[in-house]
Structure 1
């Protein structure tokens, strides 16, 4: 039996050197998965960006190699790596192998960087520690320096040689270590996204992305925004924006608390209003603040305050009308803010949010001031903004009333059999065997009802063609009794994607009352259209039912072929021809299959209801984007797309048209 180890003074251990990162990468990079690997790449890119922002080199090249290695090259001042008399060590040891070492700690006192993305002296060292290998090629102060590292350890020391060219800069190539990260296959999309964002907030800097798609063959993409965030917002808002694009700037000294030191903050904001697009995007020291923090709070405060003040002053509110909320503004707001400071409190090393009180207060003051002046100087645009925000507010409130009414309607406890017209339930309470057949009309209801197994098969009739759920808004959809009855019978609620209707009825797949939802319509043009409308409803309101393979189509035969005492059912033209070939020389009758309501119960059971002999087509999600596009073309508001599709493919359907 193994001896049980005791927990005592000798149990405490400290990680040293590369193990501080290699054994706990998530502490520095936020994750030991692909997200963490991506953040390590951004750490190296950040150093090059800081150089370019200081005016040293206006071009940065990022190369993604097929073996998952990465290279970042800049034309900045290079990295000082030679002997440091003050520290009595080589600088390369400090920046590549020492945590919390770098040249950006004295920025608030007029250091080497006015505003730096990398502040903590962690990125380069941590990425080196987390690499399978790293090679550094540095041109600095008339010399070329090269270094090589493997698994966090230097190999071969510092190589130094005279460099006669005037060009300076750094080229760092490394391969993230699969022993540190669970995944190092960073997709090209990550690079293009992060590089584009950096081009947006670093006006005039050219970023070149080279992607190795085959051995020594690279696809190259360039990003450069000469006017930075202003060009970006113009691009987003387009020519049909509600207002012109505004660009505001501010720079001041702030502090986060009375007893803390003052520091510099610079704020840039590009703003427009649109009834077509909306976006709020924040950057600090060029790092994208995915979770916002201080800027998000400042924007909410300033825009709600100033627009509310404008509406009150100009008598735009109705009597006793409630105040606007930020959601009403956000739905028509396009704003990109890029701020810089010499002191920053990020939520963590991954830099996805900042929480500086001083920065937040400076942003609120700047935004309120500029909005007030903008409204005074541009009364026509102010009128448009106020009107649109009120439209958004009133639409939200109407939707909320609809939501509350509908939520009560859909979630109230009720006897479904008694409350949903003509719904015929089954006896079984075992969801794993319960099936519901959705059929068209009362005649089909009668036939299916007689042919079913009442123990586990239920029937729900549809009265006429249901609403096209792609073209209608939610208010109209949920006023349809047919649709709300269907939702009640399904029992799982709906998945609504709009903000205003976000909780109409909480969707719960576990509350679904059926193992199979079977659409059972006639094999004619009307039947196909009803089936398509039902699929459209499920696709928009309960897409997870399709994703979970709960939706089926009952395939009805097209032809009944009778020979002697045998009947054959052909489900398509090919099967019909095959049966006719088999029956060659025999007497037979063939007729187009009748509608569901005209079929006798035995035939219905055999062809449609009985699991042993029926044919069901499982509705699969497939390519969701292609499905959405086709639904939009055939059933949505895409009139141009529908016209083009008919012009291109219409001739393929001539034989199926019912034009008799």
Structure 2
């Protein structure tokens, strides 16, 4: 089209909810399952806002078999009287008008998650059908919509149906009274069918995500009961209910995965700030006024013995996964306090000499931290309708000040238990700083190395010739006796060997400092060349496969467990990437006798059951074998050819890949078997004592 042909008649003006249907991504982000769930969050959050204001303490969410979803609350109910400017009922205004609602500074809500006034109307616009029932004033009021347009559905006697015939209102809309309720009973029920013209066919309501969101909300609104019921499978309906009275403190205890080294501390406070906002006057004009805002801060945090960080932030119970000013204020206050307290206790923490010149960084402090940061403010400023980032500037300073004041009081407390925990945290942070510095120095040394310099790798490492990470393999071998055989059995072009002496340090109990000072652990970290803990860089790993090759006995299993604990806690990305394996050496070798027609052969078996099956098959086929069956108690009992054929040769060996698909369950098992708490481990052993086969003990 030529420039001269482009005129005002080519411009389109989208009215009302038409804009939402034309550009849904602007309001809900996507049109897949995430966008579908976002619509449900909008409806649920409106009910939660009522509970936040002290109106109602129960919310029900029901997934119906007909692909509809229903949300019920016992709040005040959407207003049913006529809104004077539009001449429409309050229900129709809320459901059909963008930027309409009770959250624009009219005093209906002190602090709410919804503030743009588009949540309910957007859900209505993107629904093939939506019904709303309001209990208020002794009556139940009902109104129905089709893709945002009000009207009547000719429903069967069985109840609302998406297949019923719809008739839009022609002259004027009607909010019908369909029943009576007790005078004091109030509440809102919304049921809707998502419009499949808008959402992908594969978009579905996820029960697990709904459960997680309901649990999260129950933590953030103490005393609120949320019930989620999935009726999509009538034969096996699912229902879960959540209610917590401890607030963010309970939330931290729930999501903290590692073993706590401190109690869960609560940091509470408030502050105020003024901001200039446009205020809507009665005559319809907008006037800028300076208003005073109150900001309530509630932070719960604790440190664990791990190094992963889990910090979640919320504004008026709305999750802000990308942070914002409240998150930044929390980190700033935390860093300032820790640096100050550590500086004060430098001598006791032995921060002298070279260590004293190092500065504590935020990552050192955040290692092993689990925290929930919540703020409540009226009319928060978010970046976009999806509300993933808080933009209200003054909140940063208020949160930082509350964290500084409350955390300083805890860290300088004279109470015995609190003081001991504070010392543990400070020592942990200093240990993280030292580990980071050591990793940085190691990286600098490796960068400075050139072809003329000797390698700084351990002398006991039998390295491979290949520099190709994808094909290279590192075998961590139990004992020097197995090392000699393995050297002869390996393919030195791509297989490296690192022997370890017996059982390494149990890192589930030991501190980071003890782990780094342990010769075997330090050798493994040094040889891999990718660091440890928070400084671990998977791309720097020198080998594509890490294979743990231990004896096929109880001691070998123990050593393998200790090694896996080290990898799980301090080199977790290797496990997640599927690059850690356990070699599977055989337990037995059966010599099958030859005949004029067949040569003598050897059969390897890997369990007692497999051995019995092999012997049974040999007897059935009439083949004779040497009754003196060799049982391998260690890798050192094999000769090089046997070890290569059964355990090391890629063409014949069997490897067991170590995965962490169920990471939280694995963490609990590691802590039970390898942690500091003796009583749970004793109970576990006692409970399983009857199942123990005494003949399997290698004594």
Shorter-normalised TM range: 0.7 to 0.9
**Residues 547-582 of structure 1: per-residue CA shift (max 9 Å, x gap):** 444324142342342535624233133444455452
Q: Equivalent residue for 2:692? A: 652
Does structure 1 residue 355 correspond to structure 2 residue 391?
yes
Q: How does 1:392-541 map to 2 (within 5 A)?
A: 392-409=425-442, 412-413=446-447, 419-491=457-529, 493-494=530-531, 496=533, 502-503=534-535, 505-508=536-539, 511-514=541-544, 516-541=545-570
Q: Which deviates the most, 164-173 or 74-83?
A: 74-83
Q: Deviations over 1:74-124 (max 9, x none)?
A: 3444334565443355655532222222343352xxx44444433222111
| Rounded Cα–Cα distance in structure 1 between residues aligned with 2:301 and 2:543 | 45
Q: Given the alignment of the two structures, is residue 569 of structure 1 paired with residue 603 of structure 2, yes or no?
A: yes
Matched, 1:596 2:596: no
Match of 1:499 in 2: none
Displacement of 1:636 in angstroms is 3.5
Conservation of the 8 A alpha-carbon contact between 2:133 and 2:189: yes
Considering only aligned residues, what root-mean-square deviation do their CA atoms show, in Å?
Answer: 4.7
Cα distance in 2 for residues equivalent to 1:264 and 1:465 = 64
Aligned match for 1:637, one of 659, 669, 676: 676
Q: How does 1:66-215 map to 2 (within 5 A)?
A: 66-80=65-79, 83-88=82-87, 91-107=90-106, 111-141=107-137, 144-156=140-152, 157=169, 158-161=174-177, 164-165=180-181, 166=183, 167-182=185-200, 184-199=203-218, 202=221, 205-212=224-231, 214-215=233-234
Q: SS in structure 1 opposite 2:551?
A: coil
C-alpha displacement of 1:4: 12
1:46 corresponds in structure 2 to 45
Compute the displacement of 1:126 (Å): 0.6
Question: Which 5+ residue runs of structure 1 have no aligned equivalent?
Answer: 497-501
- Structure 2: how far apart are the matches of 1:284 and 1:25? 24
Q: Please say if residues 57 and 76 of structure 1, whose CA atoms lie closer than 8 Å, have aligned partners that are also in contact.
A: yes
Deviations 1:312-346 (CA, angstroms, capped at 9, x unpaired): 9xx766599799877788778977644232x4322
- The answer to whether the 8 A contact 2:300-2:373 is kept is no
Query: What is the distance in 2 between the residues matched to 1:39 and 1:472?
Result: 44
**Alignment partner of 1:262 is 2:290:** yes
Q: How far apart, CA to CA, are the structure 2 residues paired with 1:129 and 1:249?
A: 39
Between the aligned partners of 2:360 and 2:423, the Cα distance in structure 1 is 7
Please give the residue correspondences for 1:309-328 in structure 2 after superposition, counting only pairs within 5 Å. Answer: 318=347
Give the whole-Å Cα distance in 2 for the aligned partners of 1:329 and 1:459: 36
Distance 1:477 1:179, change over 3 A: farther
SS at match of 1:149: strand
CA gap of 1:137–1:616, structure 2 versus 1, over 3 A, is closer
Q: Tell me if the contact between 2:646 and 2:652 (Cα under 8 Å) persists in the aligned partners.
A: yes
**Alignment partners' CA distance in 1, 2:79 and 2:662:** 52
Alpha-carbon separation, structure 1, partners of 2:189 and 2:312: 31
Residue 377 of structure 2 aligns to a residue whose secondary structure is: strand
Aligned-partner Cα distance in 1 for 2:434–2:342: 23
Q: Provide the TM-score with structure 1 as the length reference.
A: 0.78
The residue correspondences of 1:569-588 to structure 2 (distance < 5 A) are 569-571=603-605, 572-581=607-616, 582=618, 586=624, 588=626
- TM-score (structure 2 length as normaliser): 0.75
Matched position secondary structure for 1:420: coil
Q: Secondary structure at the match of 1:421?
A: coil
Instruction: Find the counterpart in structure 1 of residue 158 from structure 2.
Output: none
Q: Secondary structure at the match of 1:637?
A: coil
Shift of 1:135: 0.8
Query: Offset of 1:175 from its aligned partner?
Result: 2.7
CA distance in 2, matches of 1:445, 1:190: 50
Q: Give, in angstroms, the shift of residue 172 of structure 1.
A: 0.9
Deviates more, 1:288-297 or 1:383-392: 383-392
Answer whether contact 2:60 2:228 (CA < 8 A) is retained: yes
**Which of residues 327, 339, 357 in structure 1 aligns to 2:376?**
339
Question: Could you list the runs of 5+ residues in structure 2 that have no partner in the other structure?
Answer: 153-168, 279-286
Report the number of matched residues: 636
Question: Which residue matches 1:28?
Answer: 27
Distance in 2, matches of 1:128 and 1:299, equals: 37
> 1:17 offset after TM fit, Å?
4.5
Shift in CA distance, 620/76, structure 1 to aligned 2, threshold 3 Å: closer
* Alpha-carbon distance change, 202 to 555 in structure 1, aligned in 2, over 3 angstroms: closer
Whether the 8 Å contact between 1:233 and 1:245 is mirrored in structure 2 is no
Q: 1:439 to 1:260 in 2, by over 3 A?
A: same
- Checking the alignment, whether the CA contact within 8 Å between 2:465 and 2:494 is kept in structure 1 is yes
Once the two structures are overlaid, the 10-residue window that deviates more, 96-105 or 50-59, is 50-59
SS of residue matched to 1:261: strand
Contact 1:329 1:389 in 2 (8 A): no
